[in-house]
Amino acid sequence: MIDERDRLELWLHYATGTNYKQFAAVREEYYYLDEAWEDVRAGQMGRFTMLDEEGKQRLMEAARDGFMDRYIRWLDKNQINVLTSTSYCYPSLLKEIHDPPAVLFYKGTLNEDMQLPIAVVGTRRCTDYGKEVAKTFGRELVRAGATVVSGLATGIDGYAAVGALSVEDAQDPTVAVLGCGIDVVYPQGNEKLYAAIAERGCVMTEFLPKTRPLPQNFPLRNRIISGLSLGVLVVEAGERSGASITAHLALEQGREVFAIPGRVTDRMSIGTNTLIRRGEAKLVTQVSDILEEFGAAYTSSEPREVNLSSLSPLEQQIVKALLSGEKNDDELMERCDTDIGQLIYTLTELSISGIIKQLPGSVYALDTLQTRIVE
């Protein structure tokens, strides 16, 4: 699986880590890496002027007898796959960026040509609105045949992956890119989601195993997220958010950027609204807004139409009350002539048929992403 050339790249990556410049400089100096290996083995470090002392030390350390064998055996044992930049199945889109990761560690299956990879990113501190949008877009993108790329963080990234995984028959629905070693699950408590993505999609990182999730890792991780994707959808972003950084990286890499608009009073929509205002991102209200940019046909489920007259009188009263905005059950009691037991079971009935949804605080709203009311 890991041939001699991969092995040498892995060796160089071990020494240079995520410093792509150093990696590229060594590659430029040595067209054939085995010459570099021979030099290091012989202790001749003269040509490695681009490396600092520490880099040279690591290079020599990793060239010692048996070190690489142990390293590769360990990766094998932990079922960690390796992809180097020279490998033929290295993701083609990622290869185009100016600083592609030299080595990718991954679990699961990685397609070199992912189907319409779209990154869905956003703040970790998302609102219920962001959560719902992320889940719905994650799901609908996959239904339309796209692959959802995200960062396996809490908040928007996680919900997008959850939405993507909820499409049961989809193949490789989602890819998660980590800001830490492949064997580190961050944030804690995400183990289930990590396992689910590794099983049905792919979890990848360029960081060496056991790397801790340091703050400086995440911008590096973000360039991979946008690099893997044709477009980046920002669902919610605060004023100075990592998601906005990803959006700008995507613009530098020549990728499309999309943003979900939010209320002007929402702190978690400042970033997305700013992207839209500056013309950096396209305003998106439905999945087809994204797909049309890539000429992909959107065949997935549009909101189902429900005729108001097909509902029972009480249901009609409820739906009409909700047309003017969300209401809690006390407010619905005031607007409908019924008793509380009847109101509650009618609300359940409407939720089960996907016409309304229940929000925190005993608040109900029309589920406009699933159904549209026609009068």
Partner 1 sequence: MLSQANSFGLSGLTGFPVKVEADISGGLPAYETVGLPDAAVKESKERVRAALKNSGFLLPPSRITVSLAPANVRKEGSVYDLPIALALLCAQGKIKQAPLTRAIYLGELALNGDVRGVNGVLPMVISARQAGEEVFFVPRENAEEAACVEGARVFPVDNLRGLIAFLQGEGGMEPLPQTVVVPEIGENALDFSYIKGQASAKRAAEIAAAGGHNLLLAGTPGSGKTMLARAMPSILPPMDMAECMEVTKIHSVVGHRGLVTARPYRSPHHGASAVAITGGGSNALPGEISLAHLGVLFLDEFPEFHRDVLESLRQPLEDGVITVSRSKQSCTYPASFMLVAAMNPCPCGNRGSRTKACTCSPAAIHRYVRKISGPLLDRIDLFIEMNDVPFEELTGKGEGESSQVIRQRVTAARQRQHERFGSDSTRLNAQLTIGEMDEFCQLSKPCRDIMERAFQRMELSARAYQRVRKVARTIADLAGSESIQEQHLMEAIRYRSLPILQEEP
Q: Which residue has the tokens 């809490």?
A: 154
Nearer to partner 1, 219 or 361 (CB): 361
Q: Which two tokens stand for residue 349?
A: 């009935």
CB 268 within 8 A of CB 236: yes
Least separation in angstroms between residue 115's CB and partner 1 is 24
Least separation in angstroms between residue 286's CB and partner 1 is 22
Pairing of strands 103-108, 202-205: antiparallel
Least separation in angstroms between residue 143's CB and partner 1 is 17
Nearer to partner 1, 116 or 355 (CB): 355
- The C-alpha atoms of residue 77 and residue 84 are separated, in whole angstroms, by 19
- The C-alpha atoms of residue 229 and residue 231 are separated, in whole angstroms, by 5
- The C-alpha atoms of residue 271 and residue 247 are separated, in whole angstroms, by 10
Sites of contact with partner 1 (CB under 8 A): 124-128, 131, 154-155, 158-159, 161-162, 187, 189-190, 192-193, 267, 326, 328-330, 333, 340-349, 351-354, 358-363
Nearer to partner 1, 81 or 150 (CB): 150
What b/e sequence results for 322-337 when a residue is b if at least 16 CB atoms lie within 10 Å of its CB, and e otherwise?
beeeebebeebeeebe
Nearer to partner 1, 7 or 107 (CB): 107
Helix then strand then coil, in percent of the chain rounded to 5, is 45, 15, 40
| Residue 352 exposure: Cα atoms within 13 Å on the Cβ side | 6
Least separation in angstroms between residue 134's CB and partner 1 is 11
- The C-alpha atoms of residue 18 and residue 230 are separated, in whole angstroms, by 23
Nearer to partner 1, 168 or 375 (CB): 168
| Segment holding 119, helix H or strand E | strand 117-121
Nearer to partner 1, 308 or 344 (CB): 344
Least separation in angstroms between residue 124's CB and partner 1 is 6
Taking phi first (over 0 means left), then psi (-120 to 50 degrees means alpha), and beta for anything else, what does residue 108 get? left
- The C-alpha atoms of residue 1 and residue 6 are separated, in whole angstroms, by 9
Least separation in angstroms between residue 63's CB and partner 1 is 41
Nearer to partner 1, 89 or 340 (CB): 340
Letter for the amino acid at 96? E
Going by C-beta distance under 8 Å and a sequence separation of 6 or more, which residues neighbour residue 239? 267, 270, 271
